[in-house]
Every structure is written in structure tokens, then in C-alpha cells.
Chains A and B, each alone.
Chain A
Amino acid sequence: MANLASNFIGIKSPNPFWLASAPPTDKEVNVRRAFEAGWGGVVWKTLGSEGPPVVNVNGPRYGAIWGADRRLLGLNNIELITDRPLEVNLREIKSVKRDYPDRALIISLMVPCDEDSWKDILSRIEDTGADGVELNFGCPHGMAERGMGSAVGQVPEYIEMVTRWVKKHSRMPCIVKLTPNITDVRKPAEAAKRGGADAVSLINTINSITSVDLDDFAPEPTIDGKGTHGGYCGPAVKPIALNMVAEIARNPVTAGLPISGIGGVTTWRDAAEFMALGAGNVQVCTAAMTYGFKVVQEMISGLSDYMDRKGFTSTADLVGRAVPNVTDWQFLNLNYVTKAHIDQDACIKCGRCYIACEDTSHQAIEMGPGRTFTVKDEECVACNLCVNVCPVENCITMVEMPKGKVDPRTGVPVGDYANWTMHPNNPSSQAAE
């Protein structure tokens, strides 16, 4: 069993799996159950200013999309920050932290965009024993209409300003949680760094409408005949989150800035992927909301097995390992040639590769007698579509052509590394004549 102990910006936890700020972390009863189940840390459900708490809708607040067998793939919510009084939350945080000193407990905050509000809330949480704060600049609905959440997270200057206030009025480590509802995630991350953030966490949820009621003609979840966009999360958002994490990790301006990876983490593998792309730890919300807290046990055993297999002795060995391999398209090797190959023994003869390639790709699969499917190397452009649509894992694989061998499609031998910047078709190519 590998050592999964994690040290994220000085905050220690027995494993890198934290629960993200959300309903699973909204109350003492939940958080205690989470810690008993094995979660390394929690980011408490976002607190607002002192005074009457926010109110939530009283109709449905979640929507979803599903894959086969009604497996939940994407969840959407129109929930606001905690709707319980500040004092109650603070008392509970203190009590949980006292009983679980080895677990990370971070407080998520969202208050109006003025220095006094931030100064005040920071003083209120001072003596809870919490390990750090996370600034929620991400919520895309409700709170954003009131100038908070993603309304702040979409303006780098505000992020920098608020982060500065927080660092000025608190000694606690400060994580800035970013919204994905922007065009270039590097800008808010840079702003957080300039403001003095110890880390960024991402992603918060994505603006979304999950479905439309086709009888009432209203977005779902529908509240008395109307709907509003919500925040999207769960397995469906993982690819978006992974890219944003990688963009920050490989940006020279923010390189080395610790990242807490969030968005669709459902299995140990998802977590390992976030970490390989530069996340020091991960946060999870939808997987817990779908399956309960016990899922962390699979994440722990899975990551541990993987690290043992790889000979990693600490999670630090994994973090950022894939970052150097994230590059721009223009630097990809155009002389790397592969061809699809269909394993006839594994093939169940559904013909999906055939029709996908025939109708929408390169007519590179032949359907022979007895429903035998074979790849025509002279047509295959190696797009990978057949691999993606095949229901049997590893039945179709991409086989690399060795250097020097003639690609039957182009008639050209496989050459040495050469990318677009060197390609003769590129008007600004530097290639030798």
C-alpha cells in the first residue's frame, strides 16, 4: 500500500482526496460521515456574510444527463451558498476539526466585493481551527447576479484585489477557486497569483441547461414553469477541467502554482490524471453525490495500487508528470504514422467501426464475407474514430509504423520528427528548401 499522505500548500491530509465545497460538506453530520468513510479533507460548503442567510429555491434544484443504464454523466444545480446561519456553520466546523485533527478542513468563502466584508468574515473564522480558506469566485448562478461568485471570477482585476485583501487580513493559506465560464483560464489564474494566492482550485461548475421539458417548454429543473441556467459538473466536465488544469500548469507565468484539481473526478484513475497534469490533490463533489462517501475507498485503493505498480513512493512523484508532454498542436510530430488494427479474435462483428469510417471518416474499413472487418492501410488516416466507437475495449488498436516503412496511403516513407512549423505547406515554415 503506497503512502498517499498529501501535503498541499502546507495543509496535511492522509490522502489527496478532498470533498469539494458543496452539499456533501454543508453540515457537521455529513462531514463526520465523510471523514469516517476515509476522505482526506473537505472544503466546507461556502459561507457568506453574517446576517440573514441566503435562501434556496424550494422546487427541484438539480438536473442531470445520463448515459446507458441511466448512469449519471452530468449534474447541474441552481443551489446557492450555504443557507444556514454563519454561527451554526462556524460552531460545527470547530467541533469537527477538533475531533479530526489529521484531516484537512478548508473554509470556502463568498462575501460582497468590498474589503470590510472580507476582513470581517476572515476574523470570524479565525478561531475555528480550520486549515485554510478557499475563495469561491466560481458559482455561476444566483450569487453571480448579486456581484459575487463567477461575477468576480470573470474579472481578473477583482480576483487579484480580493485575494490581496484576504492575504492582508489573514495568515491562513489561501486557495482561489476559479470559474470555467471564461475564455482563457490562464488570466484569472495569473491574477490570483499576483494577488498572493497560495494555490488555485478548479473548476467550479459550468453554465448549463441540462434539458428542456417538451410539454411545458421550460428548462429543467423547472420551478413553477420557469428555469434558469445552472452549474454543470460530474463525469461530463472532466475533459474541460483537465485541459484548464494543464493550461495553468504549463503556463510559464503560473508554473509551479499549486493546483487543486476539480471537475468530474469519479474514480482513482480520474484523480491520477488530474495529478499527472499538475494537480497537487483533487476535490470531488458529484461522485460522492451519486454514490455516497464510500467511493473514496476505491479511489484510495486504486491510486495506491497504481503508485505501487509505478514505484512511486509519494504522490509528489506523480504530480505534474504529464505536464511536459502537453504541447501545442504545431509541435506535434507529423511523421508519427499509425494504422488502425482490428483484432479478429476480439471482434464481435457489430460493424460499428465499419459504418463510422464508411459514412463519416475515410472509407478505410472493408466489410468482407462473414462480417469480417479489416482496415485498408492505404486509406486509414489513423483518426481513431473506429477505436472510439468499438464496444470492445482494445479490440481495435493503433499500431505505429516503424521509421522508414512506406505509408501505403501517402506512398512516403515514415520520416524523422517534423512538425507544422517545418512543413512545406505552412506559409511561414522555416523548412529548408
Chain B
Amino acid sequence: MSNSQLTPGIVPARLPAATYADNFADHEPPFDVHEARVAADRCYFCHDAPCMTACPTSIDIPLFIRQIATGTPDAAAKTILSQNILGGMCARVCPTETLCEEACVRETAEGKPVEIGRLQRYATDVLMAKGVHPFTRAAATGKRVAVVGAGPSGLACAHRLAMKGHDVTVLERRPKPGGLNEYGIATYKATDDFAQREVEWLLKIGGITVKNGVTLGKDVVLADLMADYDAVFLGIGLAGVNALRAAGEDLPGVQNAVDFIADLRQAEDRAAVPVGRDVVVIGGGMTAVDAAVQSKLLGAENVTIVYRRGRDKMSASGYEQEHATQTGVRIIYGAAPVRVTGTGKAEAVEFAYTEDTPEGLKLKSETFTLKADQVFKAIGQTLAGVPDGITIAAGKLPRNPAPKLWCGGDCALGGEDLTVTAVAEGRDAAEEIHVALMGTAG
């Protein structure tokens, strides 16, 4: 093929074949032993450490870093994984700059936090490379739990339940387990099929059966699960995508950012993934950034993120925004789409500038138009496929809507929609289920 960055339309192979491997290589390469020791030396072993408080899974960060510093990364990994069984993925995808590393006292002291995320990755990588699973199951309880959704919350819940001696069946609608770890994370953040390797490693605990291609509401209904199992956990994520509510939304070329990200993740050959010459991404979260950056890495000539509010309101962190602009993505703040135009396919998007007023966001009269052969919608996901009988609150499922039924992760109330929060909720639900089933903790 002889496509280039300048080829009009949505086409594959815009770049020389050799560039893809580089473009989608590990975003932050792992520490080697020496780098890890130097980075670990910087930790002050704070009392009641602020980083630990900032971590949704409350990993004992000073302890694991000290374990790295003293040459025992396996012990460090166990400290991490005992709180967060997906500590390996979290080390790659957590916005540490707004979590643990933002709280680090060395951020206060000299604007350079201890590199907690990369140290966590170092320890978990070392352990996983040995193929060691450091946890064992308690004596079998004879209890059976169904977990719906093999995403971060479902997996964390399943692992903790299995560890406590329960038998777990995980039902997943997609062909592979992992949820957003497998389908939703930017390719360069989880290279080398990490999401699948992590799931395989997690399942080594035993006692967990994963069934892929099983959709709740279609292949199985909640009432039957509730009848068949001693408890049910729903970690079904947010399967719906918000609409633009702008004219022309249905034109070919207008697409959900999440689908693009998933397709790219699943593509055997990145070069085969088509991308526009002029890409416009609408939204302000991590999904918008991931779609925009990857469009650029696939060879789009112009990529613009348009977010309706100001920079500080954007839910993608400052670090993420910087990463986008460094990759060559342009970010326009304070503008909302009015219509997508084009004959037979998307050709441009018209935007109006916005104004934040006490009555909410208002469109101003000034408008501008961006050329766009591909438009990504990244304005949030919504709950979809809620089983009958559950009353949703604030667009989410309650954490414990009925006896024997728990919910966690992005679909459930509480916390930000982050992998790490999902892990915490899945784990905590497992603890509660255990108490409910056994009548006692421990």
C-alpha cells in the first residue's frame, strides 16, 4: 500500500511498517535493578504515609519500597498484591500523578515524587516473571459464588473469594477476560499481552472458572444466578456510550472512541488499523487522550481533542494532557460540537465556544469548524444492561442492592472510574460476601 499521513479518508498503513513497533512500544520502560534501587532509596518511609492513604487499594507503599531497597522484590510484590491483586496492571495504568505520587512528600519537598508506579511495576514484574503465585487457598468452604464480568473488579473479587476457599464462576460477555484491561487500555500502556498474562497468573490461585461469551440478560439471567449460587457479584462495567446529541452524529466516520481503542488493542497488526487524516476527538477523559494519542501514533496528520470545559476541569490529568500534546495532539478547551457535516460521510465538525455560567455551560455565538474525516466520541460511558429489579442511583448500581448480591467497579456507586478503584471494590465485596456466607471474617 502506498498510503501516507496525507492520504485523505480513513485508511490503514499510513506509516512505514517499521515505525509501528516503536510507536506502540512500552510507554514507560521498566526499571532495571539499578534504577529500581536508586529510585527506592528516595523513599523516606513516612509514618502513616500519605501515598498509602491516596491509594484506593491502600497498598503499604513505604514497606514495599523498603523491600525493594533491601533487595527483596518478591516480598515487595507480595506486599503489593495482598492489597491489589492487579498491582501489575495498576502500576501501568494508574494516574499515579493524581494518586500516590501526588501525595508523596518528596513532591512537596522538591516537586519530584518517588516513582511509586514504576517501582510497583518493577516488583510485580520480577515476581510474575518467575511465574510465582504467592497466595494459596484456604480450606474449601463448599460455597459457590457467581461473578459477572471478568474486568478488574470481577477478577479482584473472584481471586479474594477463591483465596477464602469459595468456588467461583466468572461469566464474561467478551471473548477474552480482562475487561477494560484487555479492551480499554492504550496499547502502549500494556504491551506484550500483559492483560492476558496477568489474568492467567491470577487464576493460578485455583478455584476460579472463567466462562467467556456469556452475556447477562441474554445467555443467563440474574434471577437464575441468585437461585443457583450462594452469592452473586456484578462487575459489569459501563457498556453504553453517551451520544453527542449533535446533528450528523450518524454519518459514517463518527465512531465511539472505546471501540477504536479496543480494535487497536486486539489488532494483530497495528498497521492494518485504519485511521483518518484529520481526526477530531470529542471529550476530556483518559479515553479521549488514549484515542487521540493512538490516532497520532497510527499516522493521522492532524489530531485535535476538543473539550467543552477548561483545562483544570478535564478529567485526564495534567500529565496525560502533556503526554498528548507532546505526541503532537492539539487540545482545544472550552468548545462543544454543534454538528458534524459532510456528504455521505463525516468531513468536518462545527463547534461553538462555551461559557461556564452559574446556570451551567452555555454555547456562545462564536463558532469554528475543524476538518474531520474521523470523529471519536469520548464523552463518557453509561450503565447498560441493568438486570431487572435493581434500582439504580445516580446512574450507577448500589454496592449491595439485595441480600446475596454485590456490585463493584465502574458500574457501581462510589469512587472514581479507575482500574484501581474497581480492584478495591471487588476485593472489599469479596470480604463482605465471605462474612455473609460464613458468618465471620477471617
Interfacial residues, chain A to chain B (CB-CB below 8 A): 68-70, 348-352, 354-355, 367, 371, 391-392
Bound Cα distance A70, B33 (Å): 13
Residues of B within 8 A of A354 (CB): 47
- Establish whether residues A349 and B50, one from each chain, have CB atoms under 8 Å apart when the complex forms: yes
Please give me the residue from chain B that is nearest to A358 by CB atom.
B47
User: Are A69 and B41 interface neighbours, CB within 8 A?
Assistant: yes
Specify the chain B residue showing the minimal Cβ separation from A390. Answer: B44
Of B41, B47, B49, B106, which contacts A348 at CB under 8 A?
A: B106
What 10 A-B pairs are tightest by C-beta distance, nearest first?
Answer: A351-B47, A355-B47, A350-B46, A348-B105, A348-B109, A68-B41, A350-B105, A348-B108, A350-B44, A351-B46
CA–CA, A322 and B38, complex, Å? 38
For window 322-377 of B, CB contacts with A under 8 Å fall at none
Q: What are the residues of chain B within 8 A of A367 when measuring CB–CB?
A: 47-48
Say if the beta carbon of B45 comes within 8 Å of chain A: yes
Residues from 26 to 40 in B contacting A, C-beta threshold 8 Å: 37-38
A351 with B48: in contact, given A68-B41, A69-B38, A69-B41 (CB under 8 Å)?
Answer: yes
Q: Is the CB of B45 within 8 A of A391?
A: no
Contact of A352 among B37, B41, B46, B106 (CB under 8 A): B46
Nearest A residue (CB) for B69 = A68
Q: For residue B62, give the distance in angstroms from its CB to the closest CB of chain A.
A: 10
A93 to B108, CA, bound (A): 55
Select from chain B the residue with minimum beta-carbon distance to A395.
Answer: B109
What residues of A have a CB within 8 angstroms of the CB of B45 in the complex?
352
Q: Which of A69, A70, A352, A371 contacts B44 (CB 8 A)?
A: A352
In the complex, what's the smallest C-beta–C-beta distance from B77 to chain A, in angstroms? 21
Q: Give the Cβ gap from B74 to chain A, nearest Cβ, in Å.
A: 16
The 8 A CB mask of B37-70 against A (1 = contact, 0 = none) is 1100110111111100000000000000000000
- A354 CA to B42 CA, complexed, in Å: 19
Q: In angstroms, how far is the closest chain A Cβ from the Cβ of B75?
A: 15
B301-341 residues at the A interface, CB under 8 angstroms: none
Chain B residues whose CB sits within 8 angstroms of the CB of A352 once the complex forms: 44-47
Closest chain-A Cβ to B357's Cβ sits at a distance in Å of 33
Contact with A along B412-426 (1 / 0, CB 8 A): 000000000000000
User: Within 8 Å CB of A70, what residues of B?
Assistant: 37-38
Partner among B37, B38, B41, B105 whose Cβ is within 8 Å of the Cβ of A349? B105
- Residues from chain B with a CB closer than 8 A to the CB of A349 are 46, 50, 105, 108
Q: In the assembled complex, how far is the CB of residue A330 from the closest CB belonging to chain B, in whole angstroms?
A: 37
Q: List, in ascending order, chain A residues with CB within 8 A of B106's CB.
A: 348
Give, as a whole number of angstroms, the nearest-CB distance from B249 to chain A.
47
- CB-CB contacts below 8 Å: B64-87 with A: none
* Chain B neighbourhood of A69, CB < 8 A: 38, 41
How far apart are A140's CB and chain B's nearest CB, in angstroms?
30
Query: How far does the alpha carbon of A371 sit from the alpha carbon of B105 in the complex, in Å?
Result: 11
> How many of chain B's residues have a CB under 8 angstroms from any CB in A?
15
Besides the known contacts A70-B38, A348-B108, A349-B105, 18 further A-B residue pairs in the complex with CB atoms under 8 A apart: A68-B41, A68-B42, A69-B38, A70-B37, A348-B105, A349-B108, A350-B44, A350-B47, A350-B105, A351-B47, A352-B44, A352-B45, A354-B47, A355-B47, A355-B48, A367-B47, A391-B44, A392-B109
Q: In the complex, what residues of B have CB within 8 A of residue A348's CB?
A: 105-106, 108-109
Contact of B47 with A391 in the complex, beta carbons under 8 Å: no
Q: Nearest B residue to A353 by beta-carbon distance?
A: B47
Among residues of B, the one whose C-beta sits closest to the C-beta of A392 is B109
Find the A residue at minimum CB distance from B38.
A69
Q: Write the chain A residue with the least CB distance to B53.
A: A371
Cross-chain pairs A/B with CB under 8 angstroms, 22 sampled = A68-B41, A69-B41, A70-B37, A348-B105, A348-B106, A348-B108, A349-B105, A349-B108, A350-B44, A350-B46, A350-B105, A351-B46, A351-B47, A351-B48, A351-B49, A352-B44, A352-B47, A355-B47, A367-B47, A367-B48, A391-B44, A392-B109
User: Which of chain B's residues has its CB closest to A66's CB?
Assistant: B41
Per the bound structure, the CA–CA distance linking A350 and B48 in Å amounts to 8
When C-beta atoms are compared, the residue in chain B nearest to A67 turns out to be B41
Across the interface, which residues of A come within 8 angstroms of B38, CB to CB?
Answer: 69-70
Q: How far is the CA of A367 from the CA of B50 in the complex (A)?
A: 13
Chain A residues near B105: list those with CB within 8 A.
Answer: 348-350
Q: How far is the CA of A348 from the CA of B108 in the complex (A)?
A: 6
Q: Which residues of A contact B46 (CB under 8 A)?
A: 349-352
From A68, A355, A371, A392, B50 is in contact (CB under 8 Å) with: A371
**Chain B minimum-CB-distance residue to A355:** B47
On chain A, the residues within 8 Å of B50 by CB distance are 349, 371
Closest chain B residue, CB of each to CB of A354: B47
Nearest to B34 among chain A residues (CB) is A70
- Bound complex: CA of A354 vs CA of B50, how far in Å? 14
Docked complex Cα distance between A96 and B49 (Å) = 58
Closest residue on chain B to residue A356 by CB atoms: B47
Distance in angstroms from B50 CB to nearest chain A CB is 7
CB B351 to nearest CB in A, in angstroms, measures: 42
Distance A68 CA – B69 CA, assembled complex (angstroms): 9
Q: Bound state CA distance, A343 and B148, in angstroms? A: 53
Give the CA-CA distance A349 to B45 in the complex, in Å: 12
In the assembled complex, how far is the CB of residue A220 from the closest CB belonging to chain B, in whole angstroms? 15
Residue ID in chain A nearest B45 by CB atoms: A352
* Assembled-state Cα–Cα distance A349/B105 (Å): 6
- Smallest CB separation, B93 vs chain A (Å): 27
**B48 cross-chain contacts in A, Cβ below 8 A:** 351, 355, 367, 371
A354 to B45, CA, bound (A): 12
Chain B residues lying within 8 Å of A371, measured Cβ to Cβ, are 48, 50
B109 touches A391 (CB 8 A): yes
Q: Could you say which residues of chain A place their CB within 8 Å of the CB of B47?
A: 350-352, 354-355, 367
Which of B37, B38, B42, B109 gathers the greatest number of chain A CB atoms within 10 Å? B109
In the complex, what residues of B have CB within 8 A of residue A350's CB? 44, 46-47, 105
Closest approach, in angstroms, between the C-beta of A372 and any C-beta of chain B?
Answer: 13
- Scoring A68, A350, A352, A391 by chain B CB atoms within 10 A of each residue's CB, the highest score goes to A350
**How close is A66's CB to chain B, nearest CB, in angstroms?**
10
A392: B residues at CB distance < 8 A: 109
Most buried by A among B44, B45, B106: B44
Chain B contacts of A68 at CB under 8 A?
Answer: 41-42
- Complex contacts, B42 vs chain A, CB 8 Å: 68
Interface core residue of B45, B50, B105 (most chain A CB under 10 Å):
B105
In angstroms, how far is the closest chain A Cβ from the Cβ of B169?
44
Q: 1/0 per residue B371-400: CB within 8 Å of A? A: 000000000000000000000000000000
In the bound complex, CA of A371 to CA of B51 (Å): 13
Interface string of B76-117 (1 = CB under 8 A from A): 000000000000000000000000000001101100000000
- In the bound assembly, the distance between CA atoms of A348 and B113 in angstroms comes to 12
How many Å lie between the Cα of A320 and that of B116 in the bound state? 49
> Shortest Cβ distance from A348 into chain B, in angstroms?
4
Cβ-closest chain A residue relative to B46: A350
The smallest beta-carbon distance between A167 and chain B, in angstroms, is 51
Q: How far is the CB of B35 from chain A (nearest CB, A)?
A: 12
State A11–B281 Cα separation when bound (angstroms): 79
- A351 and B38 CA atoms in complex are apart in Å by 22
Complex CA–CA separation, A44 to B49 (angstroms): 52
List A contacts of B41 (CB < 8 A). Answer: 68-69
A411 nearest CB across to chain B (Å): 30
Distance A350 CA – B108 CA, assembled complex (angstroms): 10
Docked pose: A132 CA to B167 CA in angstroms: 85
Q: Which residues of A are found within 8 Å of B108, using beta-carbon distances?
A: 348-349
B277-304 vs A: 1/0 string, CB under 8 Å? 0000000000000000000000000000
